[in-house]
Chains A and B, each alone.
Chain A
Amino acid sequence: MATEGALPVLRMAVAFGRLLRRAGLAAGPDRVVGFATALEELDVGSRGDVYWAGRATLCSRPEDFEMYDRAFKVFWEGREGLKVPNPPGSTFSIRLSPDSVQPPKKSAEESEEGSEAVRLRYSPVDVLRRKDFADCTPEEFAELYRLMADMRLSGAMKRSRRLEPAHRGRHDQRRTLRGAMRTGGEPMRHRYRKARDRPRRVVLLCDVSGSMASYSRALLRFMHAGVASGEPVEAFVMGTRLTRVTRELATRNPDRALREASKAIEDWSGGTRLGDTVKEFVDVWGQRGMARGAVVVLLSDGWDRGDVEVLADAMRRIHRLAHSVIWVNPLKAAPGYQPLARGMAAALPYVDVFLSGHNFESLQELSYAVAGATGRGGAR
């Protein structure tokens, strides 16, 4: 095999790259060329060499490995035919695809009552802003999404270590000396610089389990608006397990972003093991630094069928790491709401700000809270 020369190697690399791209890996042409170059230096006949060269050149994060391994098996070992490249969970993408947003059952009843429809005619936007997501029709969602696109999600400011010129602060030797050259080496005017402020990282964790079904689509849209606004925002969804969707939501086109994200989410509207997924976040991401000094926002109804101690423990750790913890619970808007869900009750002591997030207006409130307008200790 090694005697086939350079051209077959390149051709093989290109074909393999194409397979990987279909499987969802970002194996662009430059990576493929890198792979081919690497193969020339190694023994193409050796499975190990080819495998490791590919992993070093075509993958860029541990999440890629699983798909890479599968594709590798198919391509280089000819196993399982060629049907694997469809990522698992692609069936879900149809359900989440934004143009197929299902009108929740309740909305049909309400439009029959008529009162909602009449009020809508007078001041649609105003009513819409306060309307519960669970009661919105697809048309209303479409309008809401347009409103959301303008939202900014920017964390409370923190002092950066980066310095910028300022009127007072630390002495800026570089610029002072430059100025001194003009006055014969006499530093007449002293220059200063001070630390710049920059927004804290915002981490959004959205519950997509069954009990949140009426809200999670709208909230996911909201997350997209946050990630796409270009501020440091990280997004995760929590189902039976934790999935990071920052990358998928980062494109400007909301429909595409949601389609991408839905591919990544394998357990859309699955069961709830809130504690385990929050814990997974702290273990895998939070403690390593993502939650440190960040504004952490959990969007969930606090419904947890697992051990609530796990959730309480994870929340305690987040609270210690983060700048502030905001919990958004769509159920909170219901009159006479009490945090009775066991998970919610367990988590509440570690929450700084508790908001509702059931309609557009409350999401706006959330964006103020994230920016620090409400501040720490505003919990109720």
Chain B
Amino acid sequence: MSEAVNGRRGALPPGVSLSGELKERLREGSYLAGEGLATAIFLALKLQKPLFLEGEAGVGKTEVAKVLSRMLDTPLIRLQCYEGIDVNQAVYEWDYARQLLHIRTAEALGAAGEDRSRLEDELYTRRFLVNRPLLQAIEHQGENPPVLLIDEVDRADDEFEAFLLEILSDYSVTIPEIGTVRAARPPVAILTSNRTREVHDALKRRCLYFFIDHPDMEREVEIVRLRVPEAEERLTRQVARAVQRLRGMDLYKPPGVAETLDWTEALVALGAKELDEALIEATMGSVLKYHEDQQRVLVQSLNLLAGA
């Protein structure tokens, strides 16, 4: 019976059958998701479809994968994309040095001559195969499928995108020398993009799509409370309000939630109970990462930020 139930449940954790329940579970895992994101994750788990997340840097895209891996109690396998990434770096590669060594050894033992084909067969076996993230995710043996994070897809080039499309549709990899490896259950795939370029529509169509926005004031306060519980309530609210204002200030790089948390942690480390000018100036580097932005904020009066 459990098997049949499992099929219907997709990859949802036990005890969760509504998106509201999932939202609660995410919260227990220190991730505060809005209704929309919770629904998208719920559907991704239930329908076993990849989830494609877009949004500014630092809004918590990668964090979704991390919290899912904690919540589902399954490893997080991460593939960081970059320009020029190819199958050898994403799926598998042969360990050439060991293969050569193996040949030498066989030679030294005088075995190379007659049964060369046997030697060749030996060379292309699992012993000499280096598993890269995608193969790891597909081969994963365990009760729950792993979480596969394909980070910053927009950085990879089109050739790789086409390849991903293939992998994400049937979760199998064919290694010519060994055969086809198929995933027992599809991994929970999370793709993220910073929109440096538009990812191909075909890839997006395979996925559920969600755009993560900056949180509003109340949610941000809650996030800080959840993640930096040691910060005083007054400080938490001040920081959240300051960050909200910074986002409205026409900066090169408006701070994301990641910066809010960094900033709060920095302030807590300095023993701050509430914001003041001196503290803001001292810790500014953890919220604003451009010199011009820092200048602009300094000019636009520190008092305003402290929010008296």
Contact = CB atoms under 8 A, between A and B. Distances in A.
Q: A and B: partners?
A: yes
Contacts of A43: 18
Nearest to A292: B196
A42 B100 contact: no
Interface stretch (B197-205, B218-226, B232-240, B274-282): B197-205
Contact of B198 (A57, A184, A185, A246): A246
Interface residues of B, number: 52
| Most chain A beta-carbon contacts within 10 A, residue among B39, B99, B113 | B39
Contact of B99 (A37, A42, A177, A317): A177
A362 B159 CA distance: 34
B93 to A, nearest CB: 8
14 contacts: A30-B205, A41-B42, A42-B43, A52-B40, A56-B36, A60-B201, A60-B205, A61-B198, A160-B157, A162-B83, A184-B113, A247-B198, A283-B252, A290-B196
A56 B208 contact: yes
Given A41-B46, A49-B39, A288-B195, A56 B209 contact: yes
A62 interface: yes
A160 B156 CA distance: 11
Contact of B197 (A184, A195, A290): A290
Interface in A282-311: 283, 285, 287-290, 292
Contact of B103 (A28, A37, A160, A185): A185
Contact of A185 (B35, B112, B209): B112
Contacts of A246: 198
A42 B196 CA distance: 33
A370 interface: no
B252 A317 contact: yes
A91 interface: no
Contact of A289 (B46, B119, B154): B154
Nearest to B56: A288
A139 B209 CA distance: 46
Nearest to B44: A56
B252 A55 contact: no
Contacts of A184: 107, 112-113, 116
**A contacts with B: majority SS:** helix
A370 B218 CA distance: 48
Contacts, number: 120
A289 B36 contact: no
B154 A41 contact: no
For the complex of A and B, list the 6 residue pairs with the smallest distance between their C-beta atoms, beginning with the closest: A161-B84, A289-B196, A185-B103, A173-B96, A52-B39, A56-B40
Interface string B186-215: 000000001111100100110011110000
A174 B154 contact: no
B39 A289 contact: no
Nearest to A286: B196
Nearest to B158: A232
A61 B205 CA distance: 11
Contact of B19 (A42, A162, A201, A283): A42
Contact of B47 (A38, A65, A177, A195): A38
A59 interface: yes
Contacts of A185: 100, 103-104, 106-107, 112, 119
B83 A161 contact: yes
B39 A60 contact: no
A31 B207 CA distance: 10
A53 interface: yes
A55 B210 contact: yes
B146 to A, nearest CB: 22
A161 B194 CA distance: 20
A285 B210 CA distance: 19
Interface in A9-42: 26, 28, 30-31, 34, 37-38, 41-42
A372 interface: no
Contacts of B54: 61-62
A8 interface: no
Contacts of A138: none
Contacts of B19: 42, 49, 52
B163 interface: no
A98 B37 CA distance: 42
Contacts of B85: 161
B43 A38 contact: yes
Nearest to B96: A173
B96 A53 contact: no
B28 interface: no
A184 B116 CA distance: 7
Nearest to A290: B196
B119 A60 contact: no
Given A41-B47, A52-B35, A160 B84 contact: yes
Of the listed residues A37, A41, A55, A187, the one surrounded by the most CB atoms of chain B closer than 10 A to its CB is A41
Nearest to A38: B43
A180 B102 CA distance: 13
Contacts of B107: 184-185
A336 to B, nearest CB: 38
A2 interface: no
A87 interface: no
